[in-house]
Amino acid sequence: MNPWPIILADLRSLRWIAWAVPLVVAIAVAIGIAVSAQDQALRTASARAADDFDLVIGAPGSQTQLVLTTVYLQPDAIGLADGALLNRLANDKRVAAAAPIAFGDVVHGYPVVGTTTSFVSRWGRLQPAEGRTFAAENEAVIGASVALQLGATVTPSHGMAHHGSLGAEDTEEYAHRHEEAQYRIVGRLPRQNSPWDWAILVPIESVWEIHGLGNGHAVDEAPLGPPFDAKTVPGVPAILVKPKSVADAYVLRGEYRKNGTMALFPAEVLVAIYQTLGDVKLAMVVVSGFNNALVLVATVALLLTMVGLRQRRYAVLRALGAPRRYVLLAVWLGTAGLLTAGCVLGLGLSLLASWVAGSVIEARTGLHLAVTLGWSELAFFALIILCGSGMALIPALFVYRRPVSPNLRSSA
């Protein structure tokens, strides 16, 4: 038995519908898969970006904003924590390392982040991919995605609330230049697939000095980094702490949640964000599920109508000797084939859509979303194919059950 000649003839007779049906199904399936895949990729990328931020201490305020500003470099004005904490933490036996970070300036749209070499190397984990780390106040290390050359000299501009285009100095940035300050780029960090790939890292002392706050040390010529002078060190937006142990982390978090400071694990904030994202995702998945179901029902109804118009063809086949199962198979395979083609096309479209969305998100946040299809997306894909194939039985059974003689007489 070979129903392919009839399947091909039926598809040809559908003309543009044979193209439209898979396309409509593909769009519906792609939305469902892309939502799920994108959500997973966003969670993975955002969690990875927070890997080196074990404990963040800042001034009391919004925990979410503190995480967004420190981990994801989303510019916003946040309160300053007492700079004297830096020395306390440096001398705390439960702390393996601590580093201040300060924001506020930009170079060609890239955020300038003041910190210490300890955090530039991510607590010793990273070495510059090119050049070296900064060793003087007028030196800078750039992230992997910063479009500047080693050896280049740049002038920072005050631009906390300004979102310039990356890689170019626009007129507003130019107007707010700190003309007295310049950085020479001496190193480039390896790619971390996080917003920090776009950052220009400079000694925190230079940030303080540019803003007229001294250099955080008792003398002008003091070496970079800790210890700082507790009496003169300015306040900092955030202090990143690497505790020696998990237990120490919890103790430090509790200790620094009072007396004018706020301490948090970025993971706990991310969990709350994921919870919200999860609720949104669930809503979108449900809507997408209804969308898919509606598209499948509408498609099957359309194909049922088309099959109804071809009843005489199937009656003729029966008159020529075709068994009922031949027409059942021809109609089922034709319908299921169209729906399956739509699903496969939808899978490809979902990857394309996720790649486009990932590129947009990366361009806006620096988060690199590696979209892959997990079991849940593949299960969803398989479920849609299964449902579509099952629903394709409706027109097939409709034809299967039709009597031959009356349909031979019909003009359809």
Assess 19 for contact with another protein (CB under 8 A): no
Asked whether 10 and 330 are in contact (CB, 8 A), the reply is: yes
- From residue 96, alpha-carbon distances to 137, 322, 401 in Å are 25, 81, 77
Specify the stretch interacting with another protein by CB under 8 A; choose among 141-149, 164-172, 237-245, 316-324.
316-324
Beta carbon of residue 310, minimum distance to another protein (angstroms, whole number): 10
CA dist., res. 122 & res. 239, Å (int): 13
Assess 129 for contact with another protein (CB under 8 A): no
Beta carbon of residue 9, minimum distance to another protein (angstroms, whole number): 4
Beta carbon of residue 21, minimum distance to another protein (angstroms, whole number): 17
User: If you ran DSSP here, which 8-state letter would residue 196 be given?
Assistant: G
CA dist., res. 151 & res. 141, Å (int): 10
Assess 287 for contact with another protein (CB under 8 A): no
Specify the stretch interacting with another protein by CB under 8 A; choose among 5-13, 137-145, 341-349, 392-400.
5-13
Q: Using CB under 8 A, which residues numbered 353 to 412 contact another protein?
A: 404-405, 408-409
| Residue number, 14 or 68, with CB nearest to another protein | 14
> Of these, 3, 187, 203, 334, which contacts another protein (CB under 8 A)?
3
Rounded to 5°, the CA angle 147-152-156 comes to 80
Going by C-alpha positions, the residue among 401, 383, 411 that lies closest to residue 313 is 411
> Of these, 313, 334, 357, 358, which contacts another protein (CB under 8 A)?
313
Beta carbon of residue 392, minimum distance to another protein (angstroms, whole number): 20
> Of these, 178, 211, 324, 402, which contacts another protein (CB under 8 A)?
324
Beta carbon of residue 16, minimum distance to another protein (angstroms, whole number): 14
Beta carbon of residue 68, minimum distance to another protein (angstroms, whole number): 60
Beta carbon of residue 399, minimum distance to another protein (angstroms, whole number): 15
Assess 1 for contact with another protein (CB under 8 A): yes
| Residue number, 226 or 395, with CB nearest to another protein | 395
| Residue number, 15 or 93, with CB nearest to another protein | 15
Helix (H, G, I), strand (E, B) or coil at 158: strand
Beta carbon of residue 397, minimum distance to another protein (angstroms, whole number): 16
Strand ranges (E), 133-177: 139-142, 153-154, 157-158
Assess 323 for contact with another protein (CB under 8 A): yes
Beta carbon of residue 311, minimum distance to another protein (angstroms, whole number): 12
Assess 162 for contact with another protein (CB under 8 A): no
CA atoms within 13 A on the CB side of 115: 27
CA dist., res. 131 & res. 192, Å (int): 17
| Residue number, 3 or 128, with CB nearest to another protein | 3
Sign of CA dihedral 151, 123, 241, 70: positive
Tokens of 356: 């486009």
Assess 321 for contact with another protein (CB under 8 A): yes
Asked whether 318 and 404 are in contact (CB, 8 A), the reply is: yes
Specify the stretch interacting with another protein by CB under 8 A; choose among 221-229, 247-255, 311-319, 340-348.
311-319
Within 8 A by CB and 6+ apart from 221, the residues are none
Asked whether 151 and 139 are in contact (CB, 8 A), the reply is: no
One-letter amino acid of 215? N
Assess 320 for contact with another protein (CB under 8 A): yes
Going by C-alpha positions, the residue among 277, 310, 258 that lies closest to residue 42 is 277
Going by their DSSP bridges, the two strands 110-115 and 200-203 should be labelled as parallel
| Residue number, 12 or 125, with CB nearest to another protein | 12
By CB under 8 A, the count of residues binding another protein is 27
CA dist., res. 106 & res. 166, Å (int): 10
Residues in the chain: 412
CA dist., res. 157 & res. 194, Å (int): 23
> Of these, 196, 326, 380, 381, which contacts another protein (CB under 8 A)?
326
Beta carbon of residue 1, minimum distance to another protein (angstroms, whole number): 6
List residues near another protein by CB under 8 A.
1-6, 8-10, 12-13, 312-313, 316-324, 326, 404-405, 408-409
